[in-house]
A = this chain, B = another copy of it.
Protein backbone atom coordinates (compact mmCIF):
# COMPACT_ATOMS: atom_id res chain seq x y z
CA UNK A 1 0.00 0.00 0.00
CA UNK A 2 0.98 3.65 0.37
CA UNK A 3 4.27 4.44 2.04
CA UNK A 4 3.56 6.08 5.37
CA UNK A 5 5.50 9.36 5.45
CA UNK A 6 7.10 10.48 8.67
CA UNK A 7 4.37 12.22 10.53
CA UNK A 8 5.88 15.33 12.10
CA UNK A 9 8.05 18.09 10.69
CA UNK A 10 11.60 16.79 10.93
CA UNK A 11 13.60 20.00 10.56
CA UNK A 12 13.80 23.19 12.61
CA UNK A 13 12.58 26.37 10.90
CA UNK A 14 15.76 28.22 11.88
CA UNK A 15 18.04 25.50 10.55
CA UNK A 16 16.62 25.07 7.09
CA UNK A 17 13.75 27.37 6.22
CA UNK A 18 13.31 25.92 2.76
CA UNK A 19 12.94 22.33 3.88
CA UNK A 20 10.82 23.37 6.88
CA UNK A 21 8.53 25.28 4.48
CA UNK A 22 8.03 22.29 2.17
CA UNK A 23 7.19 20.02 5.06
CA UNK A 24 4.90 22.62 6.63
CA UNK A 25 2.89 22.68 3.41
CA UNK A 26 2.87 19.00 2.56
CA UNK A 27 2.44 17.46 6.00
CA UNK A 28 -0.50 19.65 6.98
CA UNK A 29 -2.83 18.87 4.07
CA UNK A 30 -2.50 22.38 2.63
CA UNK A 31 -1.14 21.42 -0.78
CA UNK A 32 0.12 18.64 -2.96
CA UNK A 33 2.31 18.71 -6.05
CA UNK A 34 0.58 18.38 -9.43
CA UNK A 35 1.89 15.94 -12.02
CA UNK A 36 3.61 18.72 -14.03
CA UNK A 37 6.64 20.62 -12.78
CA UNK A 38 5.81 23.87 -10.99
CA UNK A 39 2.07 23.22 -10.71
CA UNK A 40 0.59 22.76 -7.25
CA UNK A 41 -2.76 21.51 -5.99
CA UNK A 42 -4.67 23.07 -3.10
CA UNK A 43 -6.28 20.55 -0.82
CA UNK A 44 -9.42 21.70 1.02
CA UNK A 45 -7.48 23.01 4.03
CA UNK A 46 -5.30 25.17 1.77
CA UNK A 47 -8.07 26.25 -0.56
CA UNK A 48 -10.24 27.34 2.33
CA UNK A 49 -7.55 29.88 3.28
CA UNK A 50 -7.56 31.25 -0.26
CA UNK A 51 -11.38 31.46 -0.17
CA UNK A 52 -11.16 33.56 3.01
CA UNK A 53 -8.57 35.92 1.54
CA UNK A 54 -10.62 36.22 -1.64
CA UNK A 55 -13.75 37.00 0.33
CA UNK A 56 -12.09 39.78 2.31
CA UNK A 57 -10.52 41.40 -0.75
CA UNK A 58 -13.67 40.96 -2.82
CA UNK A 59 -15.87 42.77 -0.31
CA UNK A 60 -13.43 45.69 -0.05
CA UNK A 61 -13.11 46.00 -3.82
CA UNK A 62 -16.86 45.96 -4.34
CA UNK A 63 -17.36 48.53 -1.57
CA UNK A 64 -14.98 50.84 -3.43
CA UNK A 65 -16.87 50.57 -6.72
CA UNK A 66 -14.97 47.77 -8.47
CA UNK A 67 -16.89 45.09 -10.33
CA UNK A 68 -15.94 41.50 -11.08
CA UNK A 69 -15.96 40.06 -14.59
CA UNK A 70 -14.57 37.12 -16.56
CA UNK A 71 -11.95 37.00 -19.30
CA UNK A 72 -10.93 34.01 -21.43
CA UNK A 73 -7.83 32.09 -20.34
CA UNK A 74 -6.26 32.38 -23.79
CA UNK A 75 -4.83 35.38 -25.66
CA UNK A 76 -4.02 35.30 -29.40
CA UNK A 77 -0.32 35.87 -30.03
CA UNK A 78 -0.92 38.98 -32.16
CA UNK A 79 -2.78 40.62 -29.30
CA UNK A 80 -0.11 39.83 -26.73
CA UNK A 81 2.48 41.35 -29.06
CA UNK A 82 0.60 44.63 -29.35
CA UNK A 83 2.44 46.39 -26.51
CA UNK A 84 6.05 45.46 -27.28
CA UNK A 85 7.72 46.09 -23.92
CA UNK A 86 4.97 44.12 -22.22
CA UNK A 87 5.36 41.21 -24.64
CA UNK A 88 9.14 41.09 -24.42
CA UNK A 89 8.85 40.95 -20.62
CA UNK A 90 6.64 37.87 -20.65
CA UNK A 91 7.72 36.16 -23.86
CA UNK A 92 10.16 33.71 -22.30
CA UNK A 93 7.62 32.33 -19.85
CA UNK A 94 4.47 32.08 -21.96
CA UNK A 95 2.79 28.70 -22.41
CA UNK A 96 1.57 28.34 -25.98
CA UNK A 97 -1.35 26.34 -27.29
CA UNK A 98 -0.56 25.26 -30.84
CA UNK A 99 -3.02 22.42 -31.38
CA UNK A 100 -6.72 21.71 -30.90
CA UNK A 101 -7.46 18.01 -31.24
CA UNK A 102 -5.51 16.91 -34.31
CA UNK A 103 -5.57 20.38 -35.88
CA UNK A 104 -2.68 22.83 -35.79
CA UNK A 105 -3.89 26.31 -34.93
CA UNK A 106 -3.28 29.06 -37.45
CA UNK A 107 -2.26 31.44 -34.69
CA UNK A 108 -0.71 30.39 -31.39
CA UNK A 109 -2.78 31.09 -28.28
CA UNK A 110 -0.99 32.24 -25.14
CA UNK A 111 -2.18 31.05 -21.75
CA UNK A 112 -2.82 34.26 -19.80
CA UNK A 113 0.42 35.36 -18.10
CA UNK A 114 -1.60 38.47 -17.09
CA UNK A 115 -4.63 39.99 -18.80
CA UNK A 116 -3.61 43.49 -19.86
CA UNK A 117 -3.61 42.62 -23.57
CA UNK A 118 -6.99 40.92 -23.75
CA UNK A 119 -8.68 43.27 -21.30
CA UNK A 120 -7.54 46.38 -23.14
CA UNK A 121 -8.52 44.93 -26.52
CA UNK A 122 -12.03 44.72 -25.03
CA UNK A 123 -11.91 48.07 -23.24
CA UNK A 124 -11.27 49.79 -26.57
CA UNK A 125 -14.77 48.71 -27.56
CA UNK A 126 -16.38 49.35 -24.18
CA UNK A 127 -15.12 52.89 -23.71
CA UNK A 128 -16.27 55.68 -25.96
CA UNK A 129 -17.25 58.61 -23.75
CA UNK A 130 -16.10 60.11 -20.47
CA UNK A 131 -19.49 58.92 -19.20
CA UNK A 132 -18.20 55.34 -19.44
CA UNK A 133 -15.37 56.20 -17.05
CA UNK A 134 -13.95 55.38 -14.62
CA UNK A 135 -14.16 51.71 -15.54
CA UNK A 136 -13.01 49.68 -12.54
CA UNK A 137 -12.90 45.92 -13.11
CA UNK A 138 -11.46 43.00 -11.23
CA UNK A 139 -10.84 39.40 -12.27
CA UNK A 140 -10.36 36.39 -9.99
CA UNK A 141 -8.55 33.81 -12.06
CA UNK A 142 -5.28 31.96 -12.45
CA UNK A 143 -2.26 33.13 -14.42
CA UNK A 144 0.27 30.85 -16.06
CA UNK A 145 3.95 31.56 -16.41
CA UNK A 146 6.37 28.74 -17.21
CA UNK A 147 8.86 28.73 -14.34
CA UNK A 148 12.01 27.18 -15.70
CA UNK A 149 14.15 28.00 -12.71
CA UNK A 150 13.50 26.73 -9.21
CA UNK A 151 9.86 26.68 -8.18
CA UNK A 152 8.48 27.06 -4.67
CA UNK A 153 4.85 26.44 -3.71
CA UNK A 154 2.82 29.68 -3.44
CA UNK A 155 5.97 31.76 -4.08
CA UNK A 156 6.91 30.82 -7.62
CA UNK A 157 4.69 28.50 -9.62
CA UNK A 158 3.85 27.86 -13.23
CA UNK A 159 0.22 28.59 -12.38
CA UNK A 160 -1.04 30.74 -9.55
CA UNK A 161 -4.36 31.97 -8.23
CA UNK A 162 -4.67 35.73 -8.00
CA UNK A 163 -6.89 38.72 -8.62
CA UNK A 164 -5.98 41.27 -11.23
CA UNK A 165 -7.61 44.69 -11.25
CA UNK A 166 -7.74 46.89 -14.34
CA UNK A 167 -9.07 50.43 -14.32
CA UNK A 168 -9.52 53.16 -16.91
CA UNK A 169 -9.71 56.87 -16.10
CA UNK A 170 -10.22 60.18 -17.86
CA UNK A 171 -7.17 61.78 -16.30
CA UNK A 172 -3.76 61.07 -14.88
CA UNK A 173 -4.51 62.29 -11.37
CA UNK A 174 -7.42 59.91 -10.91
CA UNK A 175 -5.27 57.00 -12.11
CA UNK A 176 -2.54 57.97 -9.65
CA UNK A 177 -5.07 58.09 -6.83
CA UNK A 178 -6.42 54.66 -7.75
CA UNK A 179 -2.90 53.18 -7.72
CA UNK A 180 -2.31 54.48 -4.22
CA UNK A 181 -5.81 53.67 -2.96
CA UNK A 182 -5.34 50.03 -3.94
CA UNK A 183 -1.84 49.79 -2.46
CA UNK A 184 -3.13 51.19 0.83
CA UNK A 185 -6.08 48.79 0.73
CA UNK A 186 -3.71 45.84 0.26
CA UNK A 187 -1.55 47.07 3.14
CA UNK A 188 -4.55 47.25 5.45
CA UNK A 189 -5.81 43.80 4.48
CA UNK A 190 -2.37 42.23 4.94
CA UNK A 191 -2.08 43.70 8.42
CA UNK A 192 -5.69 43.23 9.54
CA UNK A 193 -6.29 39.70 8.26
CA UNK A 194 -2.93 38.00 7.69
CA UNK A 195 -0.87 39.80 10.34
CA UNK A 196 1.73 40.60 7.68
CA UNK A 197 3.53 43.96 8.05
CA UNK A 198 5.11 45.46 4.93
CA UNK A 199 7.25 48.27 3.62
CA UNK A 200 5.67 50.45 0.97
CA UNK A 201 7.22 52.27 -1.94
CA UNK A 202 8.02 52.37 -5.64
CA UNK A 203 10.02 50.08 -7.86
CA UNK A 204 12.93 51.40 -9.92
CA UNK A 205 12.64 51.71 -13.70
CA UNK A 206 14.49 48.40 -14.01
CA UNK A 207 12.25 46.53 -11.59
CA UNK A 208 8.87 47.95 -12.51
CA UNK A 209 6.13 45.99 -14.28
CA UNK A 210 6.74 45.62 -18.00
CA UNK A 211 4.70 48.34 -19.67
CA UNK A 212 4.03 50.42 -16.54
CA UNK A 213 5.01 54.05 -15.94
CA UNK A 214 5.30 53.50 -12.19
CA UNK A 215 5.02 50.33 -10.12
CA UNK A 216 4.27 50.67 -6.44
CA UNK A 217 4.87 47.70 -4.17
CA UNK A 218 4.42 46.14 -0.77
CA UNK A 219 7.50 44.21 0.33
CA UNK A 220 7.63 41.76 3.19
CA UNK A 221 10.65 40.24 4.94
CA UNK A 222 11.04 36.50 5.38
CA UNK A 223 12.93 34.93 8.34
CA UNK A 224 15.98 34.12 6.18
CA UNK A 225 16.59 37.80 5.39
CA UNK A 226 15.11 37.59 1.90
CA UNK A 227 12.45 40.05 0.79
CA UNK A 228 9.20 38.96 -0.83
CA UNK A 229 7.10 41.15 -3.09
CA UNK A 230 3.55 40.81 -1.79
CA UNK A 231 1.40 43.18 -3.82
CA UNK A 232 1.88 45.57 -6.70
CA UNK A 233 -0.19 48.44 -8.04
CA UNK A 234 0.83 49.89 -11.39
CA UNK A 235 0.25 53.26 -12.97
CA UNK A 236 0.16 52.40 -16.67
CA UNK A 237 -0.25 56.00 -17.81
CA UNK A 238 -1.15 55.93 -21.50
CA UNK A 239 1.37 53.20 -22.34
CA UNK A 240 -1.36 50.72 -23.19
CA UNK A 241 -4.21 53.04 -24.18
CA UNK A 242 -2.23 54.24 -27.20
CA UNK A 243 -1.39 50.86 -28.81
CA UNK A 244 -4.78 49.42 -27.79
CA UNK A 245 -6.62 52.57 -28.86
CA UNK A 246 -8.62 53.14 -25.70
CA UNK A 247 -10.02 56.58 -26.49
CA UNK A 248 -12.89 58.56 -25.11
CA UNK A 249 -14.78 61.67 -26.06
CA UNK A 250 -14.16 64.10 -23.21
CA UNK A 251 -16.57 66.63 -21.75
CA UNK A 252 -14.56 69.08 -23.88
CA UNK A 253 -15.88 67.25 -26.94
CA UNK A 254 -12.33 66.21 -27.88
CA UNK A 255 -10.92 62.71 -28.18
CA UNK A 256 -8.36 61.61 -25.57
CA UNK A 257 -6.39 58.48 -24.83
CA UNK A 258 -7.38 57.07 -21.44
CA UNK A 259 -5.22 56.66 -18.32
CA UNK A 260 -4.94 53.22 -16.79
CA UNK A 261 -3.92 51.19 -13.76
CA UNK A 262 -3.53 47.51 -12.99
CA UNK A 263 -2.83 45.74 -9.70
CA UNK A 264 -2.94 42.37 -8.02
CA UNK A 265 -2.31 40.05 -5.13
CA UNK A 266 -1.88 36.30 -5.35
CA UNK A 267 -1.79 33.18 -3.22
CA UNK A 268 1.82 34.13 -2.53
CA UNK A 269 0.37 35.83 0.56
CA UNK A 270 -0.27 32.35 1.98
CA UNK A 271 3.39 31.43 1.53
CA UNK A 272 4.37 34.68 3.22
CA UNK A 273 2.41 34.27 6.44
CA UNK A 274 3.42 30.64 6.71
CA UNK A 275 7.10 31.58 6.61
CA UNK A 276 6.60 34.57 8.89
CA UNK A 277 4.39 33.07 11.61
CA UNK A 278 5.21 29.34 11.56
CA UNK A 279 7.43 27.62 14.14
CA UNK A 280 9.21 24.30 14.65
CA UNK A 281 5.93 22.55 15.38
CA UNK A 282 4.37 23.64 12.11
CA UNK A 283 1.89 26.24 10.89
CA UNK A 284 0.64 29.14 13.00
CA UNK A 285 -2.40 30.44 11.16
CA UNK A 286 -3.68 34.00 11.57
CA UNK A 287 -7.07 33.54 13.31
CA UNK A 288 -9.13 35.57 10.85
CA UNK A 289 -8.37 33.30 7.89
CA UNK A 290 -7.80 30.01 9.72
CA UNK A 291 -10.19 27.36 8.30
CA UNK A 292 -10.57 26.07 11.87
CA UNK A 293 -10.22 28.70 14.62
CA UNK A 294 -10.88 26.45 17.60
CA UNK A 295 -10.43 22.71 17.87
CA UNK A 296 -12.15 20.85 20.68
CA UNK A 297 -10.41 17.72 21.91
CA UNK A 298 -12.52 15.55 24.21
CA UNK A 299 -10.55 13.60 26.81
CA UNK A 300 -11.95 10.28 27.89
CA UNK A 301 -11.02 6.77 28.86
CA UNK A 302 -12.65 4.06 26.82
CA UNK A 303 -15.28 3.20 29.44
CA UNK A 304 -16.40 6.80 29.85
CA UNK A 305 -16.86 7.37 26.12
CA UNK A 306 -20.59 7.73 25.92
CA UNK A 307 -21.22 9.34 29.25
CA UNK A 308 -20.62 13.06 29.64
CA UNK A 309 -17.65 14.19 27.63
CA UNK A 310 -18.87 13.80 24.07
CA UNK A 311 -22.33 15.32 24.63
CA UNK A 312 -20.79 18.24 26.51
CA UNK A 313 -18.18 18.74 23.77
CA UNK A 314 -20.90 18.79 21.15
CA UNK A 315 -22.82 21.35 23.16
CA UNK A 316 -19.74 23.60 23.39
CA UNK A 317 -18.97 23.16 19.68
CA UNK A 318 -22.48 24.19 18.84
CA UNK A 319 -22.25 27.21 21.14
CA UNK A 320 -19.02 28.37 19.46
CA UNK A 321 -20.40 27.76 16.00
CA UNK A 322 -23.53 29.80 16.73
CA UNK A 323 -21.28 32.67 17.81
CA UNK A 324 -19.74 32.63 14.33
CA UNK A 325 -16.51 30.91 15.37
CA UNK A 326 -15.15 28.21 13.04
CA UNK A 327 -14.89 25.20 15.32
CA UNK A 328 -14.00 21.55 14.83
CA UNK A 329 -14.71 18.73 17.26
CA UNK A 330 -12.12 15.98 16.94
CA UNK A 331 -13.89 12.75 17.76
CA UNK A 332 -11.45 10.41 16.03
CA UNK A 333 -11.35 7.26 18.09
CA UNK A 334 -8.12 5.83 16.77
CA UNK A 335 -5.89 8.59 18.15
CA UNK A 336 -4.91 9.61 21.69
CA UNK A 337 -5.48 13.14 22.94
CA UNK A 338 -1.72 13.75 22.86
CA UNK A 339 -1.50 12.72 19.22
CA UNK A 340 -4.37 15.04 18.40
CA UNK A 341 -2.65 17.96 20.17
CA UNK A 342 0.42 17.48 17.98
CA UNK A 343 -1.70 17.14 14.88
CA UNK A 344 -3.63 20.38 15.39
CA UNK A 345 -0.51 22.24 16.47
CA UNK A 346 1.13 21.18 13.23
CA UNK A 347 -1.90 22.38 11.30
CA UNK A 348 -1.73 25.75 13.05
CA UNK A 349 -5.20 25.95 14.60
CA UNK A 350 -5.14 29.13 16.76
CA UNK A 351 -6.88 27.69 19.84
CA UNK A 352 -7.17 24.21 21.28
CA UNK A 353 -9.67 23.41 24.01
CA UNK A 354 -9.57 20.16 25.93
CA UNK A 355 -12.50 18.88 27.90
CA UNK A 356 -12.52 15.82 30.14
CA UNK A 357 -14.47 14.53 33.15
CA UNK A 358 -12.40 16.71 35.49
CA UNK A 359 -13.19 19.88 33.54
CA UNK A 360 -16.88 19.00 33.40
CA UNK A 361 -16.96 18.51 37.14
CA UNK A 362 -15.32 21.87 37.78
CA UNK A 363 -17.23 23.75 35.06
CA UNK A 364 -13.93 24.72 33.50
CA UNK A 365 -12.05 24.32 30.22
CA UNK A 366 -8.38 24.21 29.34
CA UNK A 367 -7.45 26.50 26.47
CA UNK A 368 -4.06 26.52 24.72
CA UNK A 369 -2.91 29.28 22.36
CA UNK A 370 -1.07 28.02 19.29
CA UNK A 371 1.17 31.07 18.94
CA UNK A 372 2.60 31.06 22.49
CA UNK A 373 1.55 27.55 23.57
CA UNK A 374 0.32 29.21 26.77
CA UNK A 375 -2.29 27.30 28.68
CA UNK A 376 -5.13 28.83 30.69
CA UNK A 377 -8.19 27.62 32.49
CA UNK A 378 -11.43 29.40 31.76
CA UNK A 379 -14.95 29.00 33.14
CA UNK A 380 -17.34 27.24 30.74
CA UNK A 381 -19.90 30.00 31.05
CA UNK A 382 -17.38 32.58 29.82
CA UNK A 383 -16.37 30.54 26.79
CA UNK A 384 -17.43 32.76 23.89
CA UNK A 385 -16.16 35.94 25.46
CA UNK A 386 -12.72 34.54 26.23
CA UNK A 387 -12.33 32.69 22.91
CA UNK A 388 -13.17 35.87 21.03
CA UNK A 389 -10.66 37.82 23.11
CA UNK A 390 -7.97 35.21 22.64
CA UNK A 391 -8.42 35.09 18.86
CA UNK A 392 -8.01 38.87 18.77
CA UNK A 393 -5.01 38.68 21.08
CA UNK A 394 -3.34 36.09 18.89
CA UNK A 395 -3.81 38.25 15.83
CA UNK A 396 -2.43 41.33 17.55
CA UNK A 397 0.46 39.42 18.97
CA UNK A 398 1.40 37.80 15.62
CA UNK A 399 1.32 41.18 13.93
CA UNK A 400 3.34 42.82 16.68
CA UNK A 401 6.02 40.15 16.61
CA UNK A 402 6.22 40.20 12.81
CA UNK A 403 6.40 43.97 12.83
CA UNK A 404 9.27 43.96 15.33
CA UNK A 405 11.11 41.47 13.13
CA UNK A 406 10.49 43.68 10.09
CA UNK A 407 11.80 46.77 11.88
CA UNK A 408 14.88 44.85 13.05
CA UNK A 409 15.53 43.74 9.48
CA UNK A 410 16.16 47.27 8.18
CA UNK A 411 19.76 48.50 8.45
CA UNK A 412 21.64 51.50 7.11
CA UNK A 413 24.80 51.24 5.10
CA UNK A 414 27.02 54.22 4.44
CA UNK A 415 29.54 52.38 2.29
CA UNK A 416 29.39 49.68 -0.35
CA UNK A 417 31.57 47.45 1.83
CA UNK A 418 29.05 47.78 4.64
CA UNK A 419 26.13 47.11 2.30
CA UNK A 420 27.79 43.98 0.98
CA UNK A 421 28.60 42.68 4.43
CA UNK A 422 25.08 43.27 5.70
CA UNK A 423 23.58 41.44 2.75
CA UNK A 424 26.01 38.56 3.33
CA UNK A 425 24.92 38.42 6.95
CA UNK A 426 21.28 38.15 5.80
CA UNK A 427 20.29 41.27 7.75
CA UNK A 428 17.31 41.89 5.51
CA UNK A 429 16.74 45.31 3.97
CA UNK A 430 19.71 47.63 3.67
CA UNK A 431 19.05 51.32 3.21
CA UNK A 432 21.72 53.13 1.21
CA UNK A 433 22.11 56.17 -1.03
CA UNK A 434 21.75 55.65 -4.79
CA UNK A 435 22.51 58.01 -7.65
CA UNK A 436 19.58 56.79 -9.73
CA UNK A 437 21.81 55.26 -12.40
CA UNK A 438 20.77 51.81 -13.58
CA UNK A 439 24.42 50.80 -14.01
CA UNK A 440 25.06 51.17 -10.28
CA UNK A 441 21.86 49.23 -9.55
CA UNK A 442 23.04 46.40 -11.84
CA UNK A 443 26.57 46.34 -10.43
CA UNK A 444 25.31 46.18 -6.86
CA UNK A 445 23.04 43.29 -7.81
CA UNK A 446 25.93 41.47 -9.49
CA UNK A 447 28.31 41.97 -6.60
CA UNK A 448 25.95 41.37 -3.67
CA UNK A 449 22.95 39.47 -5.00
CA UNK A 450 20.70 42.23 -3.70
CA UNK A 451 18.48 44.39 -5.84
CA UNK A 452 16.50 47.47 -5.07
CA UNK A 453 13.27 46.16 -3.58
CA UNK A 454 11.70 49.56 -3.18
CA UNK A 455 12.21 53.26 -2.86
CA UNK A 456 10.15 53.83 0.29
CA UNK A 457 7.43 56.48 0.15
CA UNK A 458 8.68 57.64 3.52
CA UNK A 459 12.34 56.77 3.82
CA UNK A 460 14.21 56.65 7.10
CA UNK A 461 16.73 58.16 7.29
CA UNK A 462 15.18 60.83 5.10
CA UNK A 463 17.03 61.44 1.89
CA UNK A 464 19.06 64.62 2.10
CA UNK A 465 21.21 66.52 -0.30
CA UNK A 466 24.47 65.44 1.33
CA UNK A 467 23.86 61.76 0.64
CA UNK A 468 26.09 59.91 -1.82
CA UNK A 469 25.52 56.86 -3.98
CA UNK A 470 26.87 53.88 -2.08
CA UNK A 471 28.37 52.49 -5.28
CA UNK A 472 29.74 55.37 -7.40
CA UNK A 473 29.93 58.13 -4.80
CA UNK A 474 28.00 60.62 -6.91
CA UNK A 475 25.18 62.61 -5.42
CA UNK A 476 22.36 60.35 -4.24
CA UNK A 477 18.91 60.89 -5.66
CA UNK A 478 17.18 58.49 -3.30
CA UNK A 479 17.92 56.08 -0.52
CA UNK A 480 16.22 52.84 -1.56
CA UNK A 481 16.13 49.52 0.28
CA UNK A 482 18.35 46.78 -1.10
CA UNK A 483 17.77 43.11 -0.35
CA UNK A 484 18.06 39.65 -1.72
CA UNK A 485 14.65 38.40 -2.67
CA UNK A 486 12.60 35.37 -3.53
Contact = CB atoms under 8 A, between A and B. Distances in A.
A193 interface: no
Contact of A35 (B118, B249, B334): B118
Contact of A47 (B69, B72, B111): B69
Interface in A67-104: 67-76, 79, 91-103
A131 B335 CA distance: 12
B68 A41 contact: no
B159 A72 contact: yes
A334 B129 CA distance: 13
A11 interface: no
A100 B108 CA distance: 12
Contact of A69 (B43, B72, B108, B148): B43
Contact of A39 (B39, B72, B95): B72
A465 interface: no
Nearest to A38: B72
Interface residues on A, range: 35 or more
A118 B34 contact: yes
Contacts of A91: 101
A1 interface: yes
Interface of A: 1-2, 32, 34-36, 39-44, 46-48, 50-51, 67-76, 79, 91-103, 108-109, 111, 118, 121-122, 125-126, 128, 131, 137, 142, 144, 146, 148, 159, 161, 247, 249, 255, 334
Nearest to A248: B1
A374 to B, nearest CB: 31
B70 A50 contact: yes
Which residue, of A46, A91, A100, has the highest number of chain B Cβ atoms within 10 A? A100
Given A1-B128, A95-B99, 4 more contacts: A34-B72, A73-B111, A96-B97, A111-B111
Contacts of A40: 72
B101 A99 contact: no
Contacts of A146: 100-101, 103
A94 B102 CA distance: 9
- Across the A-B interface, the 8 shortest Cβ-Cβ residue pairs: A100-B146, A44-B67, A42-B70, A39-B72, A96-B99, A92-B101, A34-B72, A2-B128
A50 B244 CA distance: 28
List the number of copies, as a whole number: 2
Nearest to A50: B70
A75 B121 CA distance: 29
Contacts of A67: 44, 47-48
Contacts of A101: 91-94, 146, 148
A108 B131 CA distance: 47
Contact of A93 (B94, B100, B249): B100
Contacts of A121: 35
A159 B102 contact: no
B68 A159 contact: no
A98 B100 contact: no
Contacts of A68: 44, 47-48, 51
Contacts of A111: 73, 97, 111
Nearest to A267: B70
A39 B247 CA distance: 25
19 contacts: A2-B128, A32-B125, A36-B72, A36-B76, A39-B72, A39-B74, A41-B71, A42-B70, A48-B67, A73-B142, A73-B144, A74-B144, A95-B97, A95-B100, A95-B109, A96-B98, A100-B148, A101-B148, A103-B148
A42 B72 CA distance: 9
Contacts of A70: 41-42, 46-47, 50, 161
Contacts of A94: 100-101
Contacts of A76: 35-36
